[in-house]
Amino acid sequence: MLIVAVVFEFVPGGFERIQAVVALAVAGSRQEPGAKIYDWAIDITAPNRATIFEVWDDQAALDKHFTYPYMDALVAALSAASIRGDITHYSAEIYDVSGKRDMGFVLPTH
């Protein structure tokens, strides 16, 4: 299992310029074989920071992810955003994990 963590820092308004393309990529990615989680989130304490959190069955599923047309569109939009200066920082890391387990934490219902 792979966990992918990507962080983008945008200039104010930078994320909004690519948001529609991101939404299409999220919708498509969530339907892919081998995709367990594919989420983009805006940080509530830093509204110009977007984080992508992904969980994939294996490297083959992640490699296949980058062959879909909506990912071509997303990569093109991110490249254009970088060129025009909308992205000020970017990091991406992949974690290989052996499995998952439940935290055992339950929220109270009353």
Cβ atoms 14, 102 nearer than 8 A? no
The vertex-94 CA angle with 92 and 98, nearest 5°, equals 160
Q: What is the pLDDT of residue 110?
A: 81
In tens digits, the chain (110 residues) has pLDDT values of 999 999 999 999 999 999 999 999 999 999 999 999 999 999 999 999 999 999 999 999 999 999 999 999 999 999 999 999 999 999 999 999 998 889 899 888 88
Domain 2-96 is of which CATH architecture?
A: 2-Layer Sandwich (3.30)
User: Whole-prediction pTM value?
Assistant: 0.89
Q: Three-state DSSP class for 94? A: strand
- Which token pair is 107? 């929220």
Q: What is the pLDDT of residue 45?
A: 96
- Which token pair is 80? 């254009």
- Domain range list for the chain: 2-96
